[in-house]
């Protein structure tokens, strides 16, 4: 049993990870504004506040810190990502904690796939640049793992991207699915299990952890809309991206297969294994 601190417990991934971690470890999680009802002690925390981060980590004395807190929108997005990573790294080093940091395939331009762990970030937007900078900060901590992952989804709680589509379609708003953006969507159960496995082993550096099936954003979204039985879709269109976002960000998962015992099934495997329907 380890003492694990999880930042960003109110995130989609956090709300799945905290209960799983708390079943086998002593867990404390943080949230920024909205406190979820999860089976572990919690604290509000602004990860940009170095003093608050240091105080919490010094008090809890975690063996492992899993850093999920971040932002992908808003005026403070870059600050939360960069300053948050710096605060967490500094405090983790101070108490000698292992650090697992969640990164993204959006650090790549999408013009040289598949990307393995040696691929140098080539971000094309502010979010990707901030996440690439955060990776550089985290790499200063020798006992750290940077988990590069992709679109996260689940079968028991709708992910934020699918929820946005469902709400927009219900209101008759236009929704465009991109046919030329390629990603490796990852089942939240697999990602949680892999992260907790990394908490207990000696792997360091960068590790790609995502589903082994590469899909276009359009194909993935349509599978999720089918699973959640979202209708009507009269305002839905499929078209190529206009280039503001990376195109093919497919990840090479060979290192993950060698390091982890956790399976990383693709979307179709997950759906077929759980039955194709909302009652599964």
The verdict on residue 40 lying in a domain is yes
The verdict on residue 8 lying in a domain is yes
Note the pLDDT tens digit of each residue in 237-271. 999 987 778 999 999 999 999 999 999 999 999 99
The verdict on residue 233 lying in a domain is no
Per-residue pLDDT for 279 more than 50?
no
Per-residue pLDDT for 198 more than 80?
yes
pLDDT at 41 (0 to 100): 96
Three-class DSSP category at 181: coil
Total domains present in the chain: 1
Q: Which two tokens stand for residue 163?
A: 């929820």
- pLDDT category at 73 given cuts 50, 70, 90 is low
Stretch 109-128: mean pLDDT = 95
Percentage above 70 pLDDT, the chain: 96
Judge whether 65 and 88 are in contact, CB under 8 Å.
Answer: yes
Per-residue pLDDT for 278 more than 70?
no
Per-residue pLDDT for 275 more than 50?
no
**Structural domain of residue 68, as residue ranges?**
3-157+185-212+249-266
The verdict on residue 48 lying in a domain is yes
pLDDT at 203 (0 to 100): 96
Nearest to 67 by CA among 13, 117, 105: 13
Per-residue pLDDT for 102 more than 50?
yes
Note the pLDDT tens digit of each residue in 201-225. 999 999 999 999 999 999 999 999 9
Stretch 31-60: mean pLDDT = 95
The verdict on residue 92 lying in a domain is yes
Judge whether 219 and 40 are in contact, CB under 8 Å.
Answer: no
Per-residue pLDDT for 101 more than 80?
yes
C-alpha distances in Å from residue 140, one per residue of 61, 97, 125, 154, 205? 20, 13, 24, 33, 10
- pLDDT category at 155 given cuts 50, 70, 90 is very high
Stretch 188-204: mean pLDDT = 97
Q: What is the largest CA-CA distance in the chain?
A: 55
pLDDT at 106 (0 to 100): 95
Distance CA 35, CA 43 (A): 9
CATH number, domain at 208? 3.40.50.720
Strands 175-178 and 182-183, bridge-based pairing: unpaired
pLDDT at 72 (0 to 100): 64
Nearest to 4 by CA among 90, 47, 63: 63
- pLDDT category at 34 given cuts 50, 70, 90 is confident
The verdict on residue 65 lying in a domain is yes
Distance CA 133, CA 129 (A): 6
Per-residue pLDDT for 58 more than 60?
yes
Please, what is the average pLDDT of the chain? 94
Q: Which two tokens stand for residue 131?
A: 């996440």
H helix intervals, the chain: 12-22, 50-60, 77-95, 126-138, 160-170, 188-200, 217-227, 254-259, 267-274
pLDDT at 71 (0 to 100): 72
The verdict on residue 71 lying in a domain is yes
Per-residue pLDDT for 77 more than 90?
no
H helix intervals, 108-263: 126-138, 160-170, 188-200, 217-227, 254-259
The verdict on residue 122 lying in a domain is yes
Note the pLDDT tens digit of each residue in 9-21. 999 999 999 999 9
- pLDDT category at 112 given cuts 50, 70, 90 is very high
Distance CA 4, CA 31 (A): 15
């Amino acid at each position: 049993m380890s003492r694990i601190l999880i930042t960003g417990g109110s995130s989609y991934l956090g709300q799945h990870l905290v209960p799983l971690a708390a079943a086998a470890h002593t867990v404390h999680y943080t949230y920024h504004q909205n406190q979820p009802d999860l089976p572990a002690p919690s604290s509000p925390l602004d990860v940009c506040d170095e003093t608050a981060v240091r105080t919490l980590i010094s008090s809890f004395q975690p063996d492992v810190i899993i850093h999920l807190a971040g932002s992908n929108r808003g005026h403070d997005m870059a600050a939360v990502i960069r300053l948050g990573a710096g605060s967490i790294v500094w405090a983790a080093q101070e108490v000698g904690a292992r650090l697992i940091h969640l990164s993204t395939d959006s650090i790549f331009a999408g013009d040289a796939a598949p990307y393995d762990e040696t691929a140098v970030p080539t971000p094309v937007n502010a979010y990707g640049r901030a996440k690439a900078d955060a990776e550089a900060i985290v790499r200063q901590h020798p006992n750290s793992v940077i988990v590069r992952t992709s679109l996260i989804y689940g079968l028991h709680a709708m992910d934020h991207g699918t929820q946005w589509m469902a709400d927009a379609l219900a209101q008759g708003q236009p929704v465009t699915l991109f046919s030329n953006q390629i990603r490796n969507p990852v089942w939240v159960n697999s990602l949680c299990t892999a992260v907790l496995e990394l908490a207990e082993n000696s792997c360091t550096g960068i590790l790609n952890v995502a589903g082994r099936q590469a899909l276009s954003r359009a194909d993935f979204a349509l599978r999720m809309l089918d699973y959640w039985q979202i209708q009507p879709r009269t305002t839905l269109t499929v078209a190529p991206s206009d280039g503001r976002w990376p195109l093919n960000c497919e990840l090479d998962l060979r290192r993950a297969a060698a390091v982890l015992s956790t399976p990383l099934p693709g979307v179709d495997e997950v759906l077929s294994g759980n039955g194709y329907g909302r009652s599964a």
